[in-house]
Structure formats: C-alpha cells, structure tokens
A and B are shown apart, each in its own frame.
Chain A
Amino acid sequence: MDARANNAPRPLGLLAELTHRCPLGCPYCSNPLALEARADELDTATWARVFREAAALGALQVHLSGGEPGARRDLVDITQAAHDAGLYTNLITSAVGITPEAFAKLSDAGLDHVQISIQDSEPGSADHIAGYKGAYARKAALAAQVTRLGIPLTVNAVMHRANIDHVEGMVALALKLGAKRVEIAHVQYYGWALKNRARLMPTREQVERAVKAVETLRLRHHGEIVIDAVVPDYYARFPKACVGGWGRRSLNVTPSGRVLPCHAAESIPALTFWNVREHSLADIWDNSPAFMAFRGTGWMQEPCRSCPKREEDFGGCRCQAFALTGDARATDPVCHLSPRHALVAELAEMREDAAYDYRR
C-alpha cells in the first residue's frame, strides 16, 4: 500500500549536480552565480541514499551532472550506486578531466548513456567559448572511447550568436563523433547566461536560418541521427513547459544537497528549499515549500488561469517570469498572451560585442 500522504505526481528523472567545480568557463553555464564550495559537497554514501530514495519515489533516470562530474574523485562509486539503485545512468560531461582509465571504470560500473557538450564545430572557437585551451580535442577523444565501448552518445550543442550559424557543422561533427542524437540547445537566459545575455543573444535572422537548417538536416540525416531542437525562448510565441511542469516530472539535487524543482529555482528568492541531509527525498518532493509553490495550476493568475493550454505549458518558466517581471507567478513573458511580451522582443534587440564574463 502507498503510505504517502498525497497524490503528487511521480518524478521520472533526477538531475544530480555532483559538484559545481568545472575546468571550463562557459559564459552560459546553468549553474547559479554563487557556486557551492567543494567542502559543502555531499559524500558518496549520501548520494547513494538519494539514488535509492529517488528510485523508490518513481525516478527512472539519473543525470550525473555538475559542474563537471569528473571533478569528483568518487564518480565511479557514485555511478555504481546509481546503477545499483536501478536507475538509468546518464553522464553529462564536458569531457575535460575524465581520463580513458576513469571512463573505462565508469563503463564497467554500468553507465548507460553519455552526453558530451561541444562549444563549436571549429576547435579554436570552441576553446574560446569554453574558456579552456585544448577542450575540443579532449571531447573528440572521449567521444571516440564512448562509441568504441558501444555506449550511446548524445552531443549537446549550446547555440548562441557566435556559433548559431554553424548548426550544419555541429550536426556534421556529431555524426563524425558517432553520436546517435544531437541537441541543438539554444542558450536559456538564467544565471551566467543572463549575465552575458547581450553578448550571447542571436539575431532574429540567425534564428530563422538555424530553424530552416535544422529542418533540412533532419530530412537529410533521417535514420542516422536524431536532431532535437526547439525555438529559442526570446523568439518564441509560446513558452516552454519548463521541466515538464513544476514538481511534476523531475527534481534537481545541488552539490550540497538542496533539492530544487529546476536547476535555476534558487534565482527566485522567496522559495524555501529543503536539504537531503535533513529530509527524505519523498518528504521533500511531497511537502517542501519550494515544490508546493508552483505545482499544479492553483497558483496561476490571468491570462494563465483560464488558458486552455495551462495543463500543457504550465504557464512557462517560473524563473524566467521572475527574472523578467519580478513576479514568479506571472505568465512567462515569452508567451504572446503575456501583458509583458513586448519586453522579450526589446531584450532580444539588446546586443553587445564585448568579451564574455566567463563562469569562474
């Protein structure tokens, strides 16, 4: 019998931010501006407990992420623990800092899938965006080892003004590296990316070209590689169903054990997050104030409240609503029905060609 108190939905995926440490300095990093320190990171045994609790709660997949997860010396044990808990393990890595020896051990520990981020199709530009000389070559080397071991590989290509014209090159590179899937992931403007927004924002013409390029490439490479892409936020008419709905499908555990409905949720100052050191994951999922805050549709204001799409996009992204309007309960201004929609177009026009503020 289910002893849990309410009928909260069950999460499918857990994003485990094992550390905020990372050798790269990408100016659109999704980590918060205030990075958590190594001394505060959860230990191996606590992560193992979190994985068991996540599986009992219904989670099927764990995304081992960061920062750079390879910065954790116990990454093999952590991966093994996730595997032993019955979770599908996906390593999200920059590839820098994972040696061939370490990767062989990860493979033996039962790693199911690998996602490698690539900053651009051309090495010089890629290393410049990553803020790390030689990163591109290391990514290619790890990708080769991943596919040699038969592990499915996804290439994650984060797109912005400096590389959005290289969509075709990125897909060609993903194919060359043996990836079965490539994510054309337009920058989302939170944290470091928000700080660098004017330096990263593509033009409307660039976005239109990129959308067309993706359509052509999907036809050309049908059956060879899956190309996932969405229209970037600031050029969309409808908002994304952020994290599939707040507290509905996924949860995120930070390096120090704070549990968030999405990786950017700490940018909303009014929210209170519970920690896995003090609460079980089920208790946090069901009862913590942060998860209750925007679950379902009861919190909505107009125009969301009476919108026929309210159960599809859940009003868009709460963090974006807060970042752009100061009200986390507002309609995501990306939505053309938002009274603040014009602001998004204004912000997209603000572009500046200055040096990046690298994540450090």
Chain B
Amino acid sequence: MSISPDAKPKLPRGVRLTHNEAQGGWVLLAPERVFKADAIAAEIVKRCTGEATVAEIVDDLAKAFNAPRERIMTDVSAMLGGLVEKRLVEV
C-alpha cells in the first residue's frame, strides 16, 4: 500500500522496538511475534512517533545519513507499507 507523505506513522499499543545485545541488535516486538530489524529499519521505526510526518522522517534520514532524498523516500515508503500491512505501524 502507498503511504501519504503527510501521514504520521506510529507504533500501535502492543508493538515495541527494543535493542537486545544478545539477540544481535534491534527487534520489533508484537503480540506473539518477533521481527529482527536491520539498522535501516530500526532508524525508520525509531522515528515513527506519531508526531513526525513521513516527509519529515525522510528529510531527517536524508540529513542524518547524507543520502539522496528520492532514494530514502522510496525505501521508507516500501518499508512502512510492509509494516502497515503487518499491523506493526499505524498511519
């Protein structure tokens, strides 16, 4: 699914991003489910606070990682679309 740049994504109650050294890094926890989050996914999900818009998240990531905005937008849209479908993110 496509996500509007004005949407303010957030983690629903019952979904949590946590860092666990012994499991090798970031994990997204949901009822009865565990998803390993790679570094990029973790950076995106950390910014899903319900306050920042998708556009703002993309700007922030482009700045933080000194990467082209277009490319980040593509990555973020794809990732959030997948997370929304799995009900791990709300928009």
A binding-site residues for B, Cβ under 8 Å:
10, 12, 55-58, 60-61, 86, 88, 90, 112-113, 149-152, 154, 180-181, 228
Name the one of A61, A154, A180 contacting B29, with C-beta atoms under 8 angstroms: A61
Chain B residues lying within 8 Å of A181, measured Cβ to Cβ, are: 31-32
Q: A60 and B20: CB pair below 8 A?
A: yes
Q: B29 and A88: CB pair below 8 A?
A: yes
Other than the given A58-B20, A180-B31, 18 more pairs (CB < 8 A) read A10-B23, A56-B21, A60-B18, A60-B20, A60-B29, A60-B34, A86-B18, A86-B19, A88-B16, A88-B18, A112-B13, A112-B16, A112-B31, A150-B12, A150-B14, A152-B12, A154-B31, A154-B32
Nearest residue in B to A115 (C-beta to C-beta)? Answer: B31
Nearest residue in A to B19 (C-beta to C-beta)? Answer: A86
Measured in the bound complex, the distance between the Cα atoms of B25 and A60 in whole Å is: 11
27 A-B contacts, Cβ less than 8 Å apart? A10-B22, A10-B23, A12-B23, A56-B21, A57-B22, A58-B23, A60-B18, A61-B29, A61-B34, A86-B20, A88-B16, A90-B31, A112-B14, A112-B16, A112-B29, A113-B31, A149-B13, A150-B14, A151-B14, A152-B12, A152-B13, A152-B14, A154-B32, A180-B31, A181-B31, A181-B32, A228-B32
Chain A residues lying within 8 Å of B22, measured Cβ to Cβ, are: 10, 56-58
The 6 A-B pairs at the shortest CB distance, nearest first, are namely A58-B22, A152-B14, A88-B29, A150-B13, A152-B31, A113-B31
Measured in the bound complex, the distance between the Cα atoms of B21 and A150 in whole Å is: 29
- Nearest Cβ in chain A — how far from B88, in angstroms? 12
- Size band of the interface chain B makes with A: 10 to 19
Chain A residues lying within 8 Å of B21, measured Cβ to Cβ, are: 56
Q: Inter-chain contact count A-B, CB under 8 Å?
A: 49
Q: A60 and B27: CB pair below 8 A?
A: yes
Chain A residues lying within 8 Å of B31, measured Cβ to Cβ, are: 90, 112-113, 152, 154, 180-181
Chain A residues lying within 8 Å of B27, measured Cβ to Cβ, are: 60
Nearest residue in B to A149 (C-beta to C-beta)? Answer: B13
Per-position binary interface string of chain B over residues 53-67, scored 1 when its CB falls under 8 Å from any chain A CB and 0 otherwise: 000000000000000
Chain A residues lying within 8 Å of B29, measured Cβ to Cβ, are: 60-61, 88, 112
List residues 18-54 of chain B with CB under 8 A from any CB of chain A.
Answer: 18-23, 27, 29, 31-32, 34
Per-position binary interface string of chain B over residues 1-21, scored 1 when its CB falls under 8 Å from any chain A CB and 0 otherwise: 000000000001110101111
Measured in the bound complex, the distance between the Cα atoms of B23 and A151 in whole Å is: 26
- Nearest Cβ in chain A — how far from B71, in angstroms? 32
Q: B13 and A151: CB pair below 8 A?
A: yes
- Nearest Cβ in chain A — how far from B41, in angstroms? 16
Nearest residue in B to A10 (C-beta to C-beta)? Answer: B22
Nearest residue in B to A56 (C-beta to C-beta)? Answer: B22
Chain B residues lying within 8 Å of A60, measured Cβ to Cβ, are: 18, 20, 23, 27, 29, 34
Select the residue from B27, B32, B34 with max chain A CB neighbours within 10 A.
Answer: B32
- Nearest Cβ in chain B — how far from A62, in angstroms? 11
- Nearest Cβ in chain A — how far from B78, in angstroms? 22
Measured in the bound complex, the distance between the Cα atoms of B21 and A55 in whole Å is: 9
- Nearest Cβ in chain A — how far from B87, in angstroms? 8
Q: A12 and B34: CB pair below 8 A?
A: yes
Nearest residue in A to B22 (C-beta to C-beta)? Answer: A58
Nearest residue in A to B12 (C-beta to C-beta)? Answer: A150
Nearest residue in B to A4 (C-beta to C-beta)? Answer: B22
- Nearest Cβ in chain A — how far from B28, in angstroms? 10
- Nearest Cβ in chain B — how far from A78, in angstroms? 18
